[in-house]
Every structure is written in structure tokens, then in C-alpha cells.
């Protein structure tokens, strides 16, 4: 399976699984639903939900070939094996207020400002010695009445492509914006699983 098709399928499968996971997800601190959970826990729950129900396998925490860091997801289908770094794109707190740090956590190009961002992860995966460049995955949440029109899954997908092209000497292309809705949380009510492929 080609990398582009694999990334499209991954987004579709995860987006389809989210409403069912959301229906049972209970956070000990925040309001019910999947949206409030931390990034690592969301990735884990999603992987567990689709495991054995796809025509590809998902391995977590595969070590980078050029270091001791680990990639969030390693997707295998036949001869195609791709690394995928995942990021939670949640720009509002549990109470609905904008999280002022969330934008930088996704789009900052400066690795010294944080542990990693979606943008710096793109460079990290691109520069690693995996056989395929792989891709990125964003778990995006929003309220149904989001007042900022440009804060949509489609716009986020487009912005990320422009940012990578601006900051780096390679490009990414959006492979899928797989929407989901009907979630229980009063703020994180809907969203999308967005995948990008790293290309030359």
C-alpha cells in the first residue's frame, strides 16, 4: 500500500473509532469525553480501538534509527513501513477558553521553546533514517459553534503545509481530513483526524 493511501486510511479508521471511544471515556479531572485526555493516552486508546480491524498494523514507540527517541506510530502494510508523529490539536481548555499556549505547541518552529511541536516533528521524521519519510497526524477538536472560521480542520491542514514550506527545505501534503462529530464533551464536540505526507 502506498504511503499516501496508508495515511488516508489511517485517518479514516481513527476518525470512525473516535465516537465510540468518546461514549465511554471518563477523565478523572475533566468533563466526560475523549477530548480532554492527554495526547499520549488518546493515541493509545485509538490504537487499541482499531487494532486487528485494519489491513495494516500499528506499532507504538518504535525507536528512531538515528537515535534513542521514539516515534509515536509505526504503520506497516505489506512492504510499506512508515513513521508517523502524532500531535493533539486542541486549542481550547475544558471550560471553553482559548489555551494561549496551544498554538505554539503545534506550530512553533523553535525546538528550544518546547519539547516538540507538529512543525519540529516534521523535520525530525524527515531527517531520520527510516526507509520512508512517513507523515504527521493531528487530532483536532473544536466546539460546534467555533467563532473563529479559520480555526477549522481544513484551515489547519492548509496552514501546516504552508508553514513547513516556509521554514524547511521540504514539503508536506495533506492526505486526509477525516471528520468526526457527536462527541459528549460540551467544548470538544467534533473535529477531525488530519494526516500529512512528507515529500521532497
Over residues 7-59, the pLDDT tens digits come to 999 999 999 999 999 999 888 888 888 988 899 999 999 999 998 899 999 99
**What is the overall mean pLDDT for the chain?**
92
For the chain, what is the domain count?
1
Q: Which residue has the higher pLDDT, 191 or 200?
A: 191
**Weakest mean pLDDT among 20-34, 74-88, 109-123:** 109-123
pLDDT for residue 27? 85
Q: Using CB atoms within 10 Å of the CB of residue 52, give its burial: 0 to 12 exposed, 13 to 18 middle, 19+ buried.
A: exposed
| pLDDT band of 198, cuts 50, 70, 90 | very high
Q: Which residues contact 28 (CB under 8 A, 6 or more apart)?
A: none
In the predicted structure, residue 112 carries a pLDDT above the cut 70: no
DSSP 34-87: STTS-HHHHHHHHHHHHTTSSSSEEEEEEEPTTSS-EEEEEEEETTEEEEEEEE
Instruction: Domain of residue 37: give its range.
Output: 3-199
State the average pLDDT over residues 153-177.
97
| pLDDT band of 149, cuts 50, 70, 90 | confident
pTM for the whole thing? 0.95
**Weakest mean pLDDT among 29-33, 80-84, 135-139:** 29-33
pLDDT for residue 76? 95
In the predicted structure, residue 107 carries a pLDDT above the cut 60: yes
Backbone φ and ψ of 189, nearest 5°: -90, -25
Amino acid at each position: 500500500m502506498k504511503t499516501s493511501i496508508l495515511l488516508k486510511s489511517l485517518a479514516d479508521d481513527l476518525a470512525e473509532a473516535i465516537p465510540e471511544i468518546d461514549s465511554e471515556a471518563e477523565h478523572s479531572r475533566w468533563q466526560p469525553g475523549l477530548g480532554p485526555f492527554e495526547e499520549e493516552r488518546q493515541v493509545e486508546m485509538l490504537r487499541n480501538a482499531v487494532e486487528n480491524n485494519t489491513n495494516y498494523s500499528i506499532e507504538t514507540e518504535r525507536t528512531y534509527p538515528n537515535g534513542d527517541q521514539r516515534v509515536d506510530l509505526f504503520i506497516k502494510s505489506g512492504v510499506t513501513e512508515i513513521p508517523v508523529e502524532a500531535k493533539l490539536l486542541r486549542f481550547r481548555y475544558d471550560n471553553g477558553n482559548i489555551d494561549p499556549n496551544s498554538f505554539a505547541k503545534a506550530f512553533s518552529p523553535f525546538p528550544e521553546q518546547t519539547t516538540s511541536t507538529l512543525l519540529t516533528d516534521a523535520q525530525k521524521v524527515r531527517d531520520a533514517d527510516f526507509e520512508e519519510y512517513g507523515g504527521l497526524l493531528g487530532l483536532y477538536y473544536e466546539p460546534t459553534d467555533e467563532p473563529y472560521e479559520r480555526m477549522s480542520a481544513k484551515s489547519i491542514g492548509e496552514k501546516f503545509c504552508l508553514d513547513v514550506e516556509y521554514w524547511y527545505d521540504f514539503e508536506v501534503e495533506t492526505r486526509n481530513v477525516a471528520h468526526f462529530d457527536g462527541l459528549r464533551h460540551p467544548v470538544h464536540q467534533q473535529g477531525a483526524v488530519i494526516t500529512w505526507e512528507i515529500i521532497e
